[in-house]
Amino acid sequence: MRRLTSSEKDLLASIEQQLSARRRTVITPDIVEQATHLVRSMTDPRPGLHELVGPVCTTSDIVAWLGISRQGINKAVRTNRILAVQSPSTIWYYPTWQLMANHSVIDDMSDVLGRLRGRVHQLTAASWFQRPLEVLDQTTPAQWMLEGHDLHTLVGAAESFATAEERRPSPVPLFDPEIQATSL
């Protein structure tokens, strides 16, 4: 058996504290099974951010790549010209697929992101760009844009996805907070 990390020890101490603060209770095998299931689901390895949205870079990387200020990056994110995902530690990351070799951002991003922003969680939207879609001939939205296919079809797919998410939102994907950014 391995040694527990400090955060794992903290979890056990918190459980012990909760049990100690109550009157003696009867713990049945069913309760043990439910608690085990809960702990397993909370501690199972999570995918990395890059597995959900593709390789990412940091704000300082994208500032250097595009040659604009942090304020310019923030404005581009607010106006749907750049796709960004905020980590639980409030650090912003940017999928690198949207950055072009000529130090620009892929064209027409605002048309697609405009259909998703405010209707779909940012991480759900970012992972949508990496999912092959039947309406796009099993191509991902990111690849569809990079290959210069019909924008109208992609905007329609984004609108359909956002509408479906508004009706029945998907759970926001969880990811490992240890994020490995790609250097540009």
Residue 21 structural domain: 6-43
**Residue partners of 4: CB distance under 8 A and separation at least 6:** 12
Please name which of 144, 62, 139, 85 lies closest in space to residue 111, comparing C-alpha atoms: 144
pLDDT at 144 over 70: yes
pLDDT at position 184 is 67
Q: Is 67 found in the same domain as 122?
A: yes
Determine the average pLDDT of the residues in 15-20. Answer: 85
Share of residues in the chain with pLDDT > 90 (%): 57
35-52 as b/e: b if 16+ CB within 10 A: eeeeeeeeeeeeeebbeb
Over residues 86-120, the pLDDT tens digits come to 988 888 999 999 999 999 999 899 999 999 999 99
The predicted-structure confidence for 39-56, as pLDDT tens digits, reads as follows 776 776 667 788 888 999
140 and 160 share one domain: yes
Look at residue 23 and tell me if it is in a domain. yes
User: What mean pLDDT, rounded, does the chain reach?
Assistant: 88
| Residues 158 and 70 occupy one common structural domain | yes
Whether 101 is in a domain gets the answer yes
Number of domains observed in the structure of the chain: 2
60 within domain boundaries: yes
Kindly state whether residues 32 and 98 are assigned to the same domain: no
Residues 146 and 67 in one domain: yes
Residue 1 covered by a domain: no
